[in-house]
Amino acid sequence: MRRIISIIFCCPFLFGLMTKSQLCFLARSRIAKNAFALSEKFGSSGEKTELCVNYYMGAGHLDSYQLGANQLRKAFSSGLSSGNANTAFYCAGHGTHFSTISAETDLPSLLLQIDYYLRLLEIYKSEMAKKFFLCYRETVSTLIDRGQSTGIEAKLSYGDASDPGIGNKPVLEVFYFHQVFRNYWLGYSERCHHYVQKCFDISKPGHFFIYVIKFYHGKKFQPLSLLIAISPESL
C-alpha cells in the first residue's frame, strides 16, 4: 500500500506537467494531499516520515514552500525518533531547501538549524546528506554576510558534487541550483546565467528545480544590496 501511495505522489511530478495531462495532474495531486492528511491522523511516525518525503517530491510542490518546510521539519523529528534516520535526513534536507528559497524563516535561525543537522551527521554518518547540507549552509552564510564571519572551512566543491563514482547527479543539480540562487541575489548576472545553463543541461524538463531556475533566469536583476535597503528585516 505504501508503495502505491508513493507512486501516486511521484507520478504527477513526472507526467503531470505535460500540457495534455494538467487535469490529471491536479486530480492526482488532490488524491495525494488527501492521503497525506490521512497519514497525519492514522499513520505511525516512521510511515508519516516516508509519506512526507514522497508527498513533497511530487504533489507537495503545489503547496507553499513555507508550509512544506514546516511539515518536513516535523517529519524529520518523527523519522529520527522512529529509527528511520536516512529518510529523516532526506526530509531535513528537502525542508532546508524549501526554507532557503522561500524565506520561511530568518537566515541566522536557518543557519543554526543547518549546523544542528551537521552535528547530528557526525553521529549518523551520511556523506551524501552532509554534501547537501554543506551546500545549503554556504548559501545561507553567503546571503547573511558573504561568509565573512558565518562561513566555515568545509564546503561542497564542484569536484565533490561531480564525482561520477557515487551517483552524484542529484548533488550536482543542487550545487548548480544554489550557484544560480546565490549569484542572483548577490547581483552577479553573468555568473547566474552561466549556472542556469548548467542546470538546464543536466536536469530533467519536469523537475521542479527547472521551473524555479526559469523564474530567476527570466526576472530582471535586483541586487541583494537593494533588497536590504528596502526590507532589512527580510534577512
Q: For the segment 131-157, what is each residue's pLDDT rounded down to a tens digit?
A: 999 999 999 999 999 989 999 999 988
> What per-residue confidence (pLDDT) applies to 20?
47
Residue 55 pLDDT more than 90? no
Residue 102 pLDDT more than 50? yes
In this structure, the answer to whether residues 120 and 215 fall within a common structural domain is: yes
In this structure, the answer to whether residues 121 and 101 fall within a common structural domain is: no
With vertex at residue 46, the alpha carbon angle to CA 167 and CA 175, rounded to the nearest 5 degrees, is 30
In this structure, the answer to whether residues 147 and 223 fall within a common structural domain is: yes
Provide the whole-model pTM: 0.74
In this structure, the answer to whether residues 83 and 122 fall within a common structural domain is: no
Q: Count of domains in the chain?
A: 2
Residue that wins the pLDDT comparison between 33 and 108: 108
Rg (CA), the chain: 18
In this structure, the answer to whether residues 140 and 75 fall within a common structural domain is: no
Q: At what angle do helices 45-57 and 65-81 cross, to 10 degrees?
A: 150
Of the three residues 105, 133, 148, the one that is the final residue of a domain is: 105
In this structure, the answer to whether residues 64 and 123 fall within a common structural domain is: no
> What per-residue confidence (pLDDT) applies to 179?
93
- Give the residue-averaged pLDDT of 85-100: 90
- Give the residue-averaged pLDDT of 85-106: 89
How would residue 65 be classed by pLDDT, with cut points 50, 70 and 90? Answer: confident
In this structure, the answer to whether residues 204 and 124 fall within a common structural domain is: yes
Question: Could you tell me the end-to-end alpha-carbon distance of the chain, in angstroms, rounded to an integer?
Answer: 43
In this structure, the answer to whether residues 33 and 144 fall within a common structural domain is: no
In this structure, the answer to whether residues 128 and 235 fall within a common structural domain is: yes
In this structure, the answer to whether residues 117 and 101 fall within a common structural domain is: no
> What per-residue confidence (pLDDT) applies to 119?
95
- Give the residue-averaged pLDDT of 171-181: 90
Residue 23 pLDDT more than 50? no
What torsion do the CA atoms of 84, 46, 89, 143 make, to the nearest 10 degrees? -160
- How far is it, in rounded angstroms, from Cα 140 to Cα 68? 18
How would residue 24 be classed by pLDDT, with cut points 50, 70 and 90? Answer: low
Instruction: Identify the weakest region by mean pLDDT among 2-11, 32-41, 165-174.
Output: 2-11
Instruction: Identify the weakest region by mean pLDDT among 31-40, 59-68, 180-189.
Output: 31-40
In this structure, the answer to whether residues 158 and 55 fall within a common structural domain is: no
- How far is it, in rounded angstroms, from Cα 54 to Cα 204? 18
Of the three residues 50, 77, 105, the one that is the final residue of a domain is: 105
With vertex at residue 191, the alpha carbon angle to CA 129 and CA 64, rounded to the nearest 5 degrees, is 50
Mean pLDDT of the chain: 75
How would residue 13 be classed by pLDDT, with cut points 50, 70 and 90? Answer: very low
Residue that wins the pLDDT comparison between 47 and 146: 146
In this structure, the answer to whether residues 19 and 122 fall within a common structural domain is: no
Counting Cα atoms < 13 Å in the Cβ hemisphere of 98 gives: 23
Q: Which three cell numbers stand for residue 224?
A: 541583494
Of the three residues 70, 105, 140, the one that is the final residue of a domain is: 105
Residue in the structure block whose three cell numbers are 492521503: 35
- Give the residue-averaged pLDDT of 67-90: 87
Q: Please, are residues 49 and 91 in contact by the beta-carbon 8 Å criterion?
A: yes
Instruction: Identify the weakest region by mean pLDDT among 12-26, 116-130, 212-226.
Output: 12-26
Range of the domain at 156: 111-235
Cβ-based neighbour number of residue 186 at 10 Å: 16
